[in-house]
Amino acid sequence: MARLTYLDAGRVALAEEMRRDPTVWALGEDLGRGGVFGQYRGLTEEFGPDRICDAPISEACILGAAVGAAMMGTRPVVEMRFSDFALCAVDELVNQAAKARYMFGGQSRVPVVVREPVGMWRSSAAQHSQSLEAWYVHIPGLVVVCPSTPADNKGLLKSAVRCDDPVVYMEHKSLWPLEGEVPDDPDFMVPLGQARIVREGRDVTIVSWSQQVNIAAEAAAKLADAGISAELIDLRTLWPWDKPAVLASVRKTRRLIVTHEAVSVAGFGAEVAATVAERLHGDLRAPVRRLGAPRIPVSYAPTLEDEVRVTADGIAATAREMVGPG
């Protein structure tokens, strides 16, 4: 075990995979100087500028080139800088990367990892703060990963690099400095599609992912103080998502809150809520609750920005309502 930040865990994961497999390479803007957040620091020194490839500000070409290079037998890791800018490469991701294998009848695979830093980061406003994970879960062919801890950022990134499908890998910007214990083992992997039970509980299940898991954990701690036992599940990957883990938990607690930083309307929480309602309707002791952002863009001023945040107090209050005075 080593104590690493979320950021360094990702950096170590990529370095290990690049040492293991010479076909892995990374491309993106400013990578030669470590990337905008420093996620690539030191990698050019070890792997050289061909494998840590500086790119022009050409998001469509960065992603499109990765598709072509993946079809030719390499494993590109694409850095999109902010998930907001990845919108300049939606054709390349949605129409090309996600569809090539299927559309060509299985003749090719597109093993690319598309790193898209997501989420609110103080006063970054509407074009540098979005959480658009649900968009990509909607696209057949893509895998969607949203790590919330340093260990997961290592283990999931390694799994993403080894995966033959295109993976949208969403790191949360406010998690970069978060420290945690991370296994040193170069073969430490976190499987795609396996949720993590962050905390066991009896009264209510809280499902979340990415940075929102930490807020939900705070809520669960507050609830414990108030005598309510919450089970917290970190989905880790949204496609595939660990339905069995969620259904098993809700069968036990018979109450579900799903919370995410993204806009609530048509967010991935809706999919989780609908699935639980379809399977467990008669077992539920309270209606399923979704807690996400209102359908407004993220603002700059703290007072406005905070309006879209789902807080630990908000989650705890919802759980208390659901569990009731009983």
Partner 1 sequence: MVEDARSNSDVERLRRHHRLMWRIRAFEEQALRGLDEKVVLGAIHPSIGQEAVAAGVCANLACEDILLSTHRGHGHTLAKGAEPLAMMRELLGREDGNCGGKGGSMHIADFSVGMLGANGVVAANIVIAAGAAHAVKLRQEARVVCCIFGDGAINRGPFLEGLNWAAVFRLPVLFVCEDNAFAATTRTAAMTGGEGPIVRARAFGIPGVEVDGNDVLAVESAVAELLGALRTGDGPRFLCARTYRLTGHTGADPATYRPKAEVEARWKEDPIARVAAHLRLAGVPETELAADAETGQAEMRRAYQQAVATPYPRAAHAYADVQDVGDPRAEAY
Q: Which residue ranges make up the site for partner 1 (CB under 8 A)? A: 25, 50-51, 55-56, 58, 60-61, 63-74, 76, 91-92, 95-96, 100-108, 140-143, 163-165, 192-193, 239-241, 243-244
State which residue, 56 or 282, has the beta carbon closest to partner 1. 56
As a whole number of angstroms, the distance between CA 119 and CA 109 comes to 30
**144 with 238: CB under 8 angstroms?**
yes
Q: In what order do the strands lie in the sheet with 230-234?
A: 196-199, 230-234, 204-208, 256-263, 289-293
Min separation Cβ 103 and partner 1, Å: 5
State which residue, 96 or 264, has the beta carbon closest to partner 1. 96
Min separation Cβ 314 and partner 1, Å: 30
Contacts of 178 (CB under 8 A, 6+ apart): 5, 6, 149, 150, 214
State which residue, 130 or 237, has the beta carbon closest to partner 1. 237
Asked if 138 is an active-site residue, the reply is no
- What DSSP string runs through 5-53? EHHHHHHHHHHHHHHH-TTEEEEETTGGGT-TTSTTTTHHHHHHHHHEE
As a whole number of angstroms, the distance between CA 50 and CA 259 comes to 41
State which residue, 5 or 96, has the beta carbon closest to partner 1. 96
State which residue, 56 or 325, has the beta carbon closest to partner 1. 56
Min separation Cβ 69 and partner 1, Å: 4
**28 with 81: CB under 8 angstroms?**
yes
| Closest alpha carbon to 51 in 81, 86, 83, 75 | 75
Helical axes 150-162 vs 6-20, angle rounded to 10°: 30
**205 with 231: CB under 8 angstroms?**
yes
- What DSSP string runs through 218-276? HHHHHHHHTT--EEEEE--EEES--HHHHHHHHHHH--EEEEEEEESTT-HHHHHHHHH
Min separation Cβ 218 and partner 1, Å: 30
Residue 278 has what DSSP assignment?
H
With H, G, I as helix, E, B as strand and everything else as coil, classify residue 324.
coil
Min separation Cβ 244 and partner 1, Å: 6
Contacts of 193 (CB under 8 A, 6+ apart): 237, 240, 241, 242
Among residues 128, 138, 172, 260, the one annotated as catalytic is: 128
State which residue, 242 or 261, has the beta carbon closest to partner 1. 242
Min separation Cβ 101 and partner 1, Å: 5
- Residues classed as catalytic: 128
